[in-house]
A and B are shown apart, each in its own frame.
Chain A
Amino acid sequence: MRAKINMYLFEHAVNSLFRQKFKTLFVVLVLSTLIFLLTSVFFISNSIKHELQSTVDALPEIIVQKLGGGRHYDIETSSVDEILEITGVSSATERVWGYYYFENAGVNFTLVGIDEFEEQYKKSFASAAKELDFSKPTMMLGEGVESVMDKNYYKEYFNFIKHDGTLKRVDIGGVFDTQSELESNDVIVMSKDDAREIFNMSKNMATDIVVKVANEDEIATVASKIKLLYPDVRVITKDDIKISYQNIFDYKSGIFLALFVVSLFTFFIIIYDKLSGLSSEERREIGILKAIGWSVGDVLKEKFYESFIISFFSYMSGVVLALFFVYILKAPLLQNIFTGYSQLKTSFALPFVFDIQTLFLIFFLSVPIYIAATIIPSYRGATLDADEVMR
């Protein structure tokens, strides 16, 4: 049983760490900070990726928008019937939505109109449709909207200013819960009729049309048929949106990448410094140990324990700190890079995504490399004659 841990050597390793208090402390500090940074970056980007993915997955397969002069115009609701006739389409729904600028707070709300009995194109709206009272003007608010209105003393209702300057009073029905914060923090859900009234939109018009296709292989065919049917529309498929979301994400994660490269670079400089040689004190220590009868293996074992304890401890504390920072403190400073979709900032509760792969990646980037960086120079020292080392 050679693999058994030699408790004497282990004890010596611990004692040796405590003997060099400041050096140990310094190494732990630097190593933990690096691991903490790396892990936080990975945690945040994983969470955001997850959030974007769930947003994209909830999207309809095809969105049809009418264009005129390159700008987005309202589309006739009669187009829904014609789109429904296309084989392969499982449902088509007209959407009524837009932005409402609330001057007092300087924020934009996203107003979404839903119909009580139509098929909801988003899961979160289906629950809102159940709770919303369609018999009188009522609305459901996203959490961010609710707090903004509350700050402006709109606790029971809100007055929307219509196109002709008159007011439209809409009661606040409650806050609707959603899976994804990114998309719905600034959303107000109300009936289509109310939304049309606020936007000054006639009854046979809609903002755009969402189309669901049961078989995803057919999305391209259906999209091209819609394009043929209406030459003046823009047909956006799920893949298009996925790509543009991905672009935003990639652009922003470039900043993370820079951070990642810098911290990794720092880490390897430290490693290089260690690898390039032992301090004379360390050489002497190895010499003395050999002189009192330690074998090369014993020395290496002791060094292994020492470096393993220090790097593993730093790794654990770095990861725990990162977990705490990202998921409990909600990543202050770092998350600011990702907000800025609209005036009303999304509150951004990062969903907890535990990614074993990331943890392994960081583990193998730090612990074995540090151990190697300690053991290799020690081996060089230990293979020399004891008197030569001490001389």
Chain B
Amino acid sequence: MFIKIIISFSLLFGTLNLGANSFTKSATIKPQLVQKGLQKEWCPVCGMSIEVYYKTSHTSKINNAHERQYCSIRCLAVDMQEYDIKREDVKVVDAATQKLIPAKSALYVVGSDIKGTMSKISKLAFASKESAEDFSIENGGEIVDFKTALVMAQESLGSDIESVQAKKTKQVYPMGEKIFDKRCKKEIDINAYLQINELKAAIKEKNFCGELKEGELQSLSLYLWEVKRFGDLKKIGDVITISKDEKCPICGMFVYKYPKWAAQIFYQDTHFSFDGVKDMMKYYFEHKEGISKMLVTDYYSQKAIDARNAYYVIGSDVYGPMGDELIPFINESEAKTFYMDHKARKIVKFEDIEEKEVYKLDE
């Protein structure tokens, strides 16, 4: 009864203050945290705060004993790949009452206007049909059961991980690295912790890095957990360096004028620079022996990448200094984006590039 009054009050205030779209995923009452120890505040998979994403939170049991609480169904799906989790054990927070209920009987509103947690599509659970319907009338989305919602989460897992990863590499890891370098005592033994939330709890509790805000703590933990644990940030961050007197052996132009298109072939004791992949390939087909390394410039990041692992787009509306080009990309999804954006003809991998086709680009 008391809770109901609080909820109705908070709802009332919500509507009064912020208008219709007042729904927040954070807990508005004291959240139920089922995990043990200091790490209970955070998700064991991604390290995010459970309180902040309380209304999408799920819990499970592994080995019939340890209870785990996730920020969202997405992290549950990730954990299900690793552990044998029984669906009967899964509980979910009712977005209306903010209480844990068995997921099997819960109704999920998917694809509403509310943004998903670590996923493009949000999946919010409700115990009663009425509240689910009320919610979907106000915020859109359709009502499905747990099984369907879980399948959706599993299906979109790949693309969700990719889009979160983009943010992590562009922003979170560099920030975490800065915090680590500036604030932290270097004695943190990352391998002593089994899960990211344990690491997070330890950093906070043992004061390894002084006072940190939640966001900073999260960046730091992610950096330590996902990057530092496997060595330092990969040093592919370099651009191709070209001295001012290097000319392309194919076309005779100075390469330093076109850093955006630079490519290089390294032999044992010498190297050649080219003002585009097209010229590099022409040279490569003639002199295949003794190559130690080949570098091309990634179109989007402008960093040096290994030519043999890159993807190449042919026939786009972007021209290099020598006209039509093979434009290199670090991964297939970026190549595809470029392919769509610039009306290209096709995407090929390095070993599929044919000599005939390279020469055809000049026509």
Contacts and interface: CB of A to CB of B under 8 A. Distances in A.
Interface of A: 78, 80-81, 84-85, 87-92, 116-119, 135, 214-215, 217-218, 221
Given A78-B115, A90-B170, 11 more contacts: A85-B167, A87-B338, A92-B171, A117-B182, A118-B171, A119-B175, A214-B303, A215-B260, A215-B301, A217-B318, A221-B341
B166 interface: yes
Nearest to A118: B175
B179 interface: yes
B166 A217 contact: no
Contact of B171 (A78, A84, A87): A84
Interface bin, chain B = 20 to 34
B167 A88 contact: no
Given A214-B301, A217-B318, A87 B170 contact: no
B216 A117 contact: yes
Contacts of A81: 167
A221 B170 CA distance: 19
A87 B334 contact: yes
Contacts of B171: 80, 84, 91-92, 118-119
Contacts of B333: 87
Contacts of B300: 87-88, 214-215, 218
Contacts of B301: 90, 214-215
Given A84-B171, A92-B171, A217-B260, A117 B178 contact: yes
Majority secondary structure of chain B interface residues (helix, strand, loop or mixed) = helix
9 contacts: A81-B167, A84-B170, A87-B333, A88-B337, A89-B170, A90-B301, A117-B175, A118-B171, A119-B174
B181 to A, nearest CB: 10
B32 interface: no
A215 B216 contact: no
B219 interface: yes
B254 interface: no
A157 B170 CA distance: 37
Interface string B170-210: 11001100110010000000000000000000000000000
Contact of B166 (A84, A118, A135, A214): A84
Contacts of A78: 115
Contacts of A118: 171, 175
Contacts of B179: 117
B292 interface: no
Contacts of B178: 117
B139 interface: no
B20 to A, nearest CB: 16
Contacts of B216: 117
Given A117-B179, A135-B211, A215 B302 contact: yes
Residue with the highest number of chain A CB atoms closer than 10 Å, among B163, B167, B216, B334: B167
A68 to B, nearest CB: 14
Residue with the highest number of chain A CB atoms closer than 10 Å, among B166, B171, B338, B342: B171
B284 interface: no
Nearest to B178: A117
Contacts of B302: 214-215
B283 interface: no
A210 to B, nearest CB: 13
Contacts of A87: 300, 333-334, 337-338
A84 B211 contact: no
B23 interface: no
B18 to A, nearest CB: 10
A129 B115 CA distance: 33
B272 interface: no
Interface string B95-131: 0000000000000000000010000000000000000
Contacts of B174: 119
Contacts of A89: 170
A61 to B, nearest CB: 12
Nearest to A224: B341
B299 A215 contact: yes
Contact of B163 (A85, A90, A214): A85
Given A117-B219, A214-B302, A91 B170 contact: yes
Nearest to B168: A84
A9 B338 CA distance: 75
B318 A85 contact: no
B52 to A, nearest CB: 11
